[in-house]
């Protein structure tokens, strides 16, 4: 990559981040449905066509940050240690993320994170759009499992269950935070829920999915 290309890509990244940050600020201030794409473009001082070159839809202005996590479950499975099943790997990673108060687990009480999650779970169009991101997570995880010789149907069913568990645990943890618990206070229950949920899957799925071997 030459300097010109590098500068161009950096400029695009800065513009993308500016648009997403501007949109989120407006959405949190006025509500998602009360802010138009034109409002976001005007606040960021770009044209609507420019905005749409970066974000295909208004919802993507909010959910773009989820794109970085779409291949997370697949990466966890691919990189798991020898002797560990896919369910155990995703379980261990989720519990570790709970310990870090990773926002993706729902167990984060930082005011900005809470405000973002409140916006997400209270806006119907965002809930619908996130289903597309979840479907991509499932596709990538199923492909990773198939690459280890899991039968296609078993791989897809396992991916659907694992992604659903991750998302539902995140919602439950957010409900705790929304109800007034601190992340520290909610952590033991969040870990217990994760152990229960992934344990339910492990008793069945890891008997039909491949174990990592050398």
Report which DSSP code applies to 80: P
What's the predicted TM-score (pTM) here?
A: 0.86
Q: How confident is the model at residue 25 (pLDDT cuts 50, 70, 90)?
A: very high
The per-residue pLDDT for 79 is 95
35, 63, 73, 78 from 84: Cα distances, Å: 47, 32, 14, 11
What is the number of other CB atoms lying within 10 angstroms of the CB of residue 186? 23
Residue 167, SS3 per DSSP = helix
Name 186's Cβ contacts closer than 8 Å, sequence gap at least 6. Answer: 107, 173, 176, 177
Residue 120 token pair:
């997400």
The per-residue pLDDT for 162 is 96
Q: From CA 108, how far away is CA 199, in angstroms rounded?
A: 23
The per-residue pLDDT for 211 is 67
Q: From CA 160, how far away is CA 84, in angstroms rounded?
A: 19
CB 130 within 8 A of CB 116: no
Q: From CA 214, how far away is CA 94, in angstroms rounded?
A: 24
Span 205-214, pLDDT tens digits: 666 566 666 6
Q: How far is CA 59 from the centre of its chain?
A: 14
Check whether 1 has a pLDDT greater than 90: no
Name 104's Cβ contacts closer than 8 Å, sequence gap at least 6. Answer: 69, 72, 97, 170
Nearest of 185, 206, 178 to residue 88 by alpha carbon = 206
The per-residue pLDDT for 214 is 60
Check whether 2 has a pLDDT greater than 80: no
Span 56-115, pLDDT tens digits: 999 999 988 777 788 999 999 999 999 999 999 999 999 999 999 999 999 999 999 999
CB 114 within 8 A of CB 178: yes
Q: From CA 79, how far away is CA 98, in angstroms rounded?
A: 19
Q: How confident is the model at residue 203 (pLDDT cuts 50, 70, 90)?
A: confident
Q: Which is more confident, 2 or 192?
A: 192
Check whether 48 has a pLDDT greater than 70: yes
37-44 vs 3-30: helix axis angle to the nearest 10? Answer: 130
């Amino acid at each position: 990559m030459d300097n010109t290309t590098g500068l161009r890509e950096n400029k695009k990244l800065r513009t993308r981040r500016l648009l997403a940050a501007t949109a989120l600020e407006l959405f949190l201030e006025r509500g998602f449905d009360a802010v138009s794409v034109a409002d976001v473009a005007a606040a960021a001082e770009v044209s609507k066509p420019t905005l749409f070159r970066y974000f295909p839809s208004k919802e993507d202005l909010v959910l773009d940050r989820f794109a970085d996590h779409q291949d997370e479950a697949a990466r966890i499975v691919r990189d798991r240690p020898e002797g560990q099943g896919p369910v155990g790997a995703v379980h261990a990673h989720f519990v570790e993320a709970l310990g870090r108060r990773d926002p993706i687990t729902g167990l984060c009480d930082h005011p900005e994170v809470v405000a973002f999650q409140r916006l997400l779970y209270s806006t119907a169009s965002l809930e619908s759009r996130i289903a597309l991101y979840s479907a991509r997570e499932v596709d990538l995880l199923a492909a990773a499992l198939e690459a280890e010789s899991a039968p296609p149907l078993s791989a897809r069913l396992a991916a659907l269950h694992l992604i659903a568990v991750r998302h539902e645990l995140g919602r439950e943890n957010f409900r705790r935070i929304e109800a007034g618990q601190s992340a520290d206070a909610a952590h033991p229950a969040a870990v217990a829920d994760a152990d229960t949920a992934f344990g339910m899957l492990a008793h069945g799925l890891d008997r039909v999915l491949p174990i990592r071997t050398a």
